Amino acid sequence: MQIAVIGRGDSVIGFTLAGIRKAYETASEDELISKIEEVMADPEVGILVLSQSDFNALPSRLRGTLTDSVKPTVIAIGTEQSTEMREKIKRAIGVDLWK
Amino acid sequence: MPVLRLPKFGKPVKYAYITGRVRAMKTKLIPHEMYQRMLGMEIPEITRYLEETQYKEEIDLMAKDHSGAELVEYATFANLAKTYRKLLRVSIDEPEFLILEYLRRWDIWNIKTILRGKFYGASDEEIMKYLVPAGELDQEFLEGLAKKEKIEEVIQAFDGTDYYEALTQYDGQMLSSVENALDKLYYFRMERAVGGTLSVGGGLLLKYVRKEIDVKNLVTLFRMNKAGIEASVIQENLLPGGKLHEELSRMAGQSYNEFVRGLEGYPFWGAISDVVAEGGSVSRIEARLRAYLVRYAWAISNYHPLSILPVLGYIVSKDTEVSNIRKIVRGKEAGLSAELIEEQVVS
Amino acid sequence: MAVIRGTKPTRAVLIALKRRIKVAQMGHNLLKMKRDGLMIEFFEVLTQARTIRQELVEDFIRAEQSLNMAKATEGALAIKSVAFALQKEPAIELESRNIMGVVVPKITADSVQKQMFERGYGIIGTSAAIDDAADAYESLVDKIVTAAEVETALIKLVEDIEATKRRVNALEFKVIPDIRDTVRFIGFALEEMERDNLVKLKMLKGKAQRAEKAAEAAKLAEAAKSKAA
């Protein structure tokens, strides 16, 4: 299976240097969302990489869907905080254990 | 690129006209003290400044499709291509022959980009964005290549030229061997073409070309020795020719420390001695070596005012200017520190 | 008192309910053990996930920096051109692993890290800055694969802990108390019935005694009559 990357502008170019072919540049939020939906439906993709800032700006329902998805697994990376995992743990365990 | 035949020029070869043109073009280069000021500016400010220089036309033209650092990069590359083509247009005889041989490096860049784009399956529009037609092959011809369906068709289009043999090394799997073959061809031809120059300054130009080959090989050795790659593989990646070919070949596959120790005493040692420590970055060493080469070109450019040397000096200056501007705006875009950018700027 | 509706207050039902309490308590204990086990597993994975997240952020910063350097020294044009030449795509394989009944993914990646001459671009025409950027992104991709595996495991564990906790709580605060209440109710009902029966019995006994006495009196009267005659 493959890894896919979606990002604003040329933020995905580095991943192409690691050989990733499914690296998609998007210009707007609409384009970002439709590309995410397309990749989520792609049976060849095992991991989808997004930037944390793009992820944080997504509608919360979509964020929930992406966090719960296992195939593909969605990973948001960046220096910004991720709240999804933290909230999930807080809700389940009752204590804020992440970070 | 036609099959190389060394031309015989009537003596004396006329350099007065081309060197006069080059002198005039040189006045349009950005003065070195400007780089220091640009380091203190933001990208829009730099762009506005560039609009007051020779880059105005390209910036105005490209501002509708690009912005920020990207606009500057595209505009400066386009201007570089225009400037070099102009240089070719105004030269005749030996200077034309030598300038063309030198500028074929851009043909190589473009051929590689087209092959890569086809290999990847990129659209012709996408491929065209990354071309810099600063050599013999013009926009129209390159566009024709980019529109071809398959790599094999691109290769076929070069049948009957020197490129063909290098291109036919494509094995359908990987481009690296073809890319290396093209680069080797370029430097092989360059060394031979310059070696045939009888006019004054030819000897120094040959010295420069050989130095460039040595520097290229040296950088390859730094990259590959540090990665611990075996000698035979490294040797395949070394250019033929150069002044130090034998010695450098022997250094292939050495441990990094042994390799660095062996470099002491060579003319380029002073340019890199403080950055070769084992934990250091090869790209920093590479930047130093490239700067060393640029400075050598500048140093010899005034030896013989009516020769190819001032032309070489100008070509190198223009190239350096474009990369300096790009380093500054790309560095700024990425938020690199002024010191880090300054280290990369050659002036 | 929450009595399970429609329960017939019979001794057989009572015995069955008492058995159910035992089963539910056993289930409750087992689920609590599972929850505790999952928590231990969770803390282990959490520590791992946090370490990997931290490394991931560091690798990401390093990768971006080296890419920025390459963009500055070579230009984005050159990098995009080189990127087209990349020959081998990293492949990942998704398998699953079982932690106490929780199915978590096991992701392995193939051919991410490569030697520079295996990448597909020619060495002579490229530069160390491009090697550095490719190197850094290869490590980042490797780290992403590890993070994907660990973070998904963490999410799956968290979800299962939540579900297990809900079931433990349901047993503890709803199912078992309800059965207990029902047992008590049946117990009362049965006692009530027993009392009822006793009264009935006594009443019957009284009636019978009275009848007996009457019969005896009648007998005596008869005997007296025959004596007199």
Give pLDDT, residue B253: 93
Q: Which residues of A touch C39 (CB under 8 A)?
A: 93
Give pLDDT, residue A47: 94
- Please give the residue range of the domain that contains residue C165: 11-172
A20 CB within 8 Å of a chain C CB? yes
Q: CATH number of the domain at B96-198, please?
A: 1.20.1690
- B-facing residues of C in 106-125 (CB < 8 A) are 115-117, 119-125
Mean pLDDT of B268-285: 91
Distance separating alpha carbons of residues A34 and A48, to the nearest angstrom? 14
Q: Give the chain C residue nearest B239 (alpha carbons).
A: C124
For chain A, give every domain's residue range: 2-93
Domain B202-303 belongs in CATH node 1.25.40 = no
Q: Do C122 and B175 touch (CB under 8 A)?
A: yes
Task: Kindly calculate the radius of gyration of chain C based on its CA atoms and give it in whole angstroms.
Answer: 41
Strand-pair category, A2-8 with A22-26:
parallel
Give pLDDT, residue B4: 65
Count the domains in chain C.
Answer: 1
Mean pLDDT of B47-66: 95
Distances (CA, A) of B223 to B175, B282, C124: 19, 6, 10
Backbone φ and ψ for A77, nearest 5 degrees, come out as -125, 150
Task: Kindly calculate the radius of gyration of chain B based on its CA atoms and give it in whole angstroms.
Answer: 21
Say which of C56, C90, C94 has its CB closest to residue A18.
C90
Statement: residue B64 has pLDDT above 70: yes
* Residue to substitute from A44, A47, A99, interface C, most C β-carbons within 10 A: A47
pTM passes above 0.90: no
Q: Tens place of pLDDT for every residue, chain A, 99 residues?
A: 999 999 987 789 999 999 999 999 998 889 999 999 999 999 999 999 999 989 989 998 999 899 888 888 999 998 877 777 788 788 877 777 776
Residue C229 lies in a domain: no
CB C79 within 8 A of CB A17: yes
* B96-198 and B202-303 share one fold: yes
pLDDT per residue as tens digits for the range B155-172: 999 999 999 999 998 988
Task: Count Cβ–Cβ pairs < 8 Å, chain B vs chain C.
Answer: 140
Write out the DSSP string of A65-92.
Answer: HHHH-BTTEEEEESSS---HHHHHHHHH
Residue A11: which residues within 8 A CB-CB, separation 6 or more? A25, A51
Mean pLDDT of B11-17: 76
Mean pLDDT of B288-300: 94
Whole-number average pLDDT of chain B: 92
Residue B256, burial from CB neighbour count under 10 angstroms (0-12, 13-18, 19+) = middle
Q: Do B183 and C129 touch (CB under 8 A)?
A: no
Nearest Cα neighbor of B294 from B346, B242, B251, B329 is B346
C61 CB within 8 Å of a chain B CB? no
3-class SS at C98?
strand
Q: Do C116 and B73 touch (CB under 8 A)?
A: no
Statement: residue B244 has pLDDT above 80: yes
Residue C1 lies in a domain: no
Say which of B108, B116, B223 has its CB closest to residue C116.
B223
**Between B80 and C98, residue with greater pLDDT:** B80
Statement: residue B10 has pLDDT above 60: no
Domain A2-93 belongs in CATH node 3.40.50.10580 = yes
Q: Do B237 and C125 touch (CB under 8 A)?
A: no
Distance separating alpha carbons of residues B278 and B318, to the nearest angstrom? 34
Residue B219: which residues within 8 A CB-CB, separation 6 or more? B282, B285, B286, B289, C127, C128
Say which of C76, C89, C105 has its CB closest to residue A21.
C89
Residue C120: left if φ>0, alpha if ψ -120 to 50, beta else—which one? left
Nearest Cα neighbor of B249 from B206, B287, B217, B294 is B217
Which chains share 3+ C-beta pairs under 8 angstroms with A?
Answer: C
* Residue to substitute from B35, B215, B283, interface C, most C β-carbons within 10 A: B283
Give pLDDT, residue B297: 94
Confidence of residue B13 (pLDDT cuts 50, 70, 90): low
Give pLDDT, residue B164: 93
In the predicted model, residues of chain C with pLDDT beneath 70 are: 1, 229
Confidence of residue B2 (pLDDT cuts 50, 70, 90): low
Q: Which residues of B touch C76 (CB under 8 A)?
A: 70, 73, 330
For chain B, give every domain's residue range: 96-198, 202-303
Q: Do C158 and A17 touch (CB under 8 A)?
A: no
Give pLDDT, residue B211: 95
Q: Which residues of A touch C42 (CB under 8 A)?
A: 93
Confidence of residue B335 (pLDDT cuts 50, 70, 90): confident
Q: What is the ipTM of this complex?
A: 0.91
- CB atoms closer than 10 angstroms to residue C15: 12
